[in-house]
Chain A
Amino acid sequence: MNGEIILPYLIIVPLFGAFSMPIVSLAGRKAREAWAVLVSGITFIVGSAIFYAVYENGPILYTLGAKNPFGQGAGFPIRIVWEVDLLSALMVLMVTFVAFLAVLYSIGYMRHDTGLDKYYTLVIILELGMLGIAITGDLFNFYVFLEIMSIASYALVAFRNDTWEGIEAGIKYMFVGSVASSFVLLGIALLYGQYGTLTMGYLAIKLAQNPTVVAKVALAFFIAGLLFKSGASPVHMWLADAHPAAPSSISAMLSGLVIKIGGVYALARILFSIYGASVSMKTVGWIIIIFACITLIIGNAMAVIQEDMKRLLAYSSVGQIGYILLGLGIGLAGYGTKAGEIAIAGAVYHTFNHALMKALLFLIAGAVIHELGTRNLNELSGLAKTMPKTTFAFLIGAAAIIGMPPLNGFASKWLIYESSATFNQVLATIAIIGTAFCTAAYVRVLYTFFGRPSEKVMKAKDPEASMLWPVVILALAIIIMGLFPWQISDKIMIPVARTLENQLGYVATLMGGA
């Protein structure tokens, strides 16, 4: 299969789906839901095909509007390029999979809401924005798609405009997110002013030839803006409000995908592929590690004391972002060592795993809220009796996120522990403390679920098929991935870590591009 031929459809399909949604929705509710499921389903198929193509044949370079990115006799790229290496392809697979399940879940979950034509339009645009970020090889284009993703998620967080918390969280998220985006734009402007190109691969060459103080200031702006977007402490507070207030299908996409694509993936891409050779990776790595440690402890510790189920999950997301950033930071600080490579593999693996687990947990929280109308954990005691399938799926998700051996979270956390233990003992200790808090938080929820049934819980039942199936599929994915942890790690995650570390390969793909 030729990756270059199918790659454009990754953008064309959701773009067409979103822009045609207002017309399709004239045909009524059924048509609109079918259209949304169809569009996201086709995108998922295209995404899987691209992952397969990149896995088999290596990275794809695609130039928009010409056969190659260079003009007549110019040695530098003048057009926008897409550069899909194994990391991008993995992110594409993750986004299309979780987004498809979230759309499927919305059919049942959003039944009682109004304005659903806008809702499906925005969900597909959110997916489009994330895909655009994952495949792009151009810095300004990255910003455009970051904005598409951000604006769609501001609107979706506040989608339930008759609840006070939706509007409050939406406003908070929008103000913070806009400042973060403008930081990123400022960084891009500085780099363009100094180096005169916007293509990531070519910028890497220019940076390596002439590292300047402007580039360092721009890097500081990038790190600041993207840490905001990924919800790292001490700038995680918007996340703890936004994720509980959004509809659960959206929380699943926000927590599972948006903070990783817009935050962690972008950070990894900029740090490794653009700045790789031209800044001190040790310094940058330690900066990331410090933020990661704060995030780890604060996120997981705050999760323990929450009464609200979705807020607990949101803080847990902050904590898990801490692990991912820790892996990334060690990968930078220990660049070129075995520990560094394992740390990046662990970070990427955990990104993928956490997308599945947190999407599963948020979808379950949505099902519980849908049945019972409350998110207060104290009122949910004894849920196992009346919603057994849902509770069982929650058990799987919670065990996976803690890192129980037969499930997928174990392998990814193990890689991060192992690398941090070989890199620096203190970091390993902090990671273990974070996991202890995380375990406490989830055991507390499970304890409530398996307790004596309260009166409120008695009339609950398992959700309908369209809400149950995405949950079942995610739980199955977690179990199946848990059966082959080291195979996945060796076959996919370690090669991904190698491609990310290999900055020369990234540049060579661009410059030697057909």
Chain B
Amino acid sequence: MKRTIAYLSLLFIVGALLYIANPNYGLKFGPGGEDWLKYRYTDNYYIEHGVEEVGGTNIVTDIVFDYRGYDTIGEATVLFTAIAGAIALLRPWRGDGK
């Protein structure tokens, strides 16, 4: 019973995602021409001003380390946390080491 409901809701979610994947009323894939400036204005700004504002010729690193550098600190923290957590959980049990 529970499993049936779970599969049905999964089906519903997939259906909803497929529905909005239709470019006529949902997400546009590979927007070009006029759509480029309408949907990807932020990306356009990065491409146009990235080199002069940041100084790197690689736009991705310009974004990841300058415009959105704070997110990168966050990602580094996620890794640090994951490592700290893994080491903490894999330590010997209390009283095992002696």
Contacts from A to B (Cβ < 8 Å): 15, 18-19, 64-65, 71-72, 74, 76, 78-80, 112-115, 118-119, 121-122, 125, 128, 132, 140-141, 144-145, 147-148, 151-152, 154-156, 158-159, 161-162, 167, 170, 190, 193-198, 212-214, 217, 220
Q: Which of B27, B28, B53, B80 contacts A71 (CB 8 A)?
A: B53
Q: Does B4 contact A (CB under 8 A)?
A: no
* Further contacts, 7 of them, CB under 8 A, given A159-B88, A161-B88: A64-B70, A74-B41, A115-B88, A141-B74, A155-B81, A159-B89, A161-B90
Residues of A near B28 (CB, < 8 A) are 193
- Determine how close the nearest CB of chain B comes to the CB of A256; give it in whole angstroms: 20
Q: Which of A78, A141, A162 touches B94 (beta carbons < 8 Å)?
A: A162
Given contacts A19-B80, A155-B85, contact A196 B73 (CB under 8 A): no
Judge whether B32 is part of the interface by a CB distance below 8 angstroms: no
Interface flag for B78 (CB, 8 Å): yes
Once bound together, how far apart are the Cα atoms of A21 and B92, in whole Å?
20
Partner of A148, one of B16, B39, B78, B94: B78
Contact partners of B89 in chain A: CB under 8 A: 155, 158-159, 161, 167, 170
List chain A residues, Cβ under 8 A from B7.
none
Contact of B46 among A78, A115, A148 (CB under 8 A): A78
Are B45 and A78 interface neighbours, CB within 8 A?
yes
**Which chain A residues lie closer than 8 Å to B94 at the CB level?**
112-114, 162
Is B85 in contact with A122, judged by CB distance below 8 angstroms? yes
CA distance A79 to B71 in the complex (A): 11
Interface positions of B from 70 to 98, Cβ below 8 Å from A? 70-71, 73-75, 77-78, 80-82, 84-94, 96
With A76-B41, A114-B94, A197-B42: A122-B84 Cβ-Cβ less than 8 Å: yes
- The answer to whether A72 touches B49, judged by C-beta atoms less than 8 angstroms apart, is yes
User: How many Cβ-Cβ contacts under 8 Å join chain A to chain B?
Assistant: 131
Residue of B nearest to A220 (CB): B16
Task: List the B side residues contacting A154 at CB < 8 Å.
Answer: 85
What separation, in Å, do the CA atoms of A9 and B93 have in the docked complex?
37
Within 8 A of A (CB), among B14-68: 16-17, 19-20, 25-28, 38-43, 45-46, 49, 53, 66-68
**Chain B: minimal CB distance from A34 (Å):** 20
The B contact surface, by secondary structure, is helix
Please measure, in the bound complex, the distance between the C-alpha atom of A125 and the C-alpha atom of B78, giving whole angstroms. 9
State the 5 A-B residue pairs at the shortest beta-carbon distance, nearest first.
A155-B85, A144-B74, A118-B88, A162-B93, A115-B91
When C-beta atoms are compared, the residue in chain B nearest to A214 turns out to be B20
> Are the C-beta atoms of B93 and A148 separated by less than 8 Å?
no
Enumerate chain A residues within 8 angstroms of B91, measured Cβ to Cβ. Answer: 114-115, 118, 161
Q: Which residues of B contact A147 (CB under 8 A)?
A: 74, 78
The answer to whether A214 and B26 have CB atoms under 8 Å apart is yes
Q: CB within 8 A of A122: which of B16, B38, B43, B88?
A: B88
- Give the interface of B toward A (CB within 8 A): 16-17, 19-20, 25-28, 38-43, 45-46, 49, 53, 66-71, 73-75, 77-78, 80-82, 84-94, 96
Q: Is the CB of A132 within 8 A of B88?
A: no
Q: Which residues of A contact B69 (CB under 8 A)?
A: 64-65
Residue contact A128 to B70, C-beta cutoff 8 Å: no
Q: Are B40 and A194 in contact (CB under 8 A)?
A: no
Bound CA span A198–B67, Å: 12
15 contacts between A and B (CB under 8 A): A64-B70, A74-B45, A122-B88, A125-B80, A140-B71, A141-B70, A154-B85, A161-B93, A162-B93, A194-B27, A194-B39, A195-B39, A196-B41, A212-B25, A214-B20
A148 / chain B contacts, CB cutoff of 8 Å = 74, 77-78, 81
CB distance from A80 to the nearest CB of B (A): 5
Shortest Cβ gap from B56 to chain A (Å): 14
CB nearest to A70 among chain B residues: B45
- Across-interface contacts of A72 in B (CB, < 8 A): 49, 53
CB contacts (< 8 Å) of B26 on chain A: these are 194, 212-214
Bound-complex Cα distance A197 to B67 (A): 13
Return chain B residues, CB-CB under 8 Å to A80.
67-68, 70-71
CB distance from A482 to the nearest CB of B (A): 37
Shortest CB–CB separation between residue B7 and chain A, in angstroms? Answer: 15
A122 touches B81 (CB 8 A): yes
Inside 8 A of A121's CB, which chain B residues have their CB?
Answer: 84
Are A151 and B81 neighbours in the complex by a CB distance under 8 Å? yes
Also in contact, A217 and B85, with CB within 8 A (given A76-B42, A78-B45) = no
Which residues of chain B are within 8 angstroms of A155 by Cβ–Cβ distance?
81, 84-86, 88-89
Alpha-carbon distance between A156 and B82 when the two chains are bound, in angstroms: 11
Tell me whether A144 and B41 are in contact (CB under 8 A).
Answer: no
- Whether the pair B80, A78 counts as a contact (CB closer than 8 A) is no
A80, closest chain B residue (CB): B70
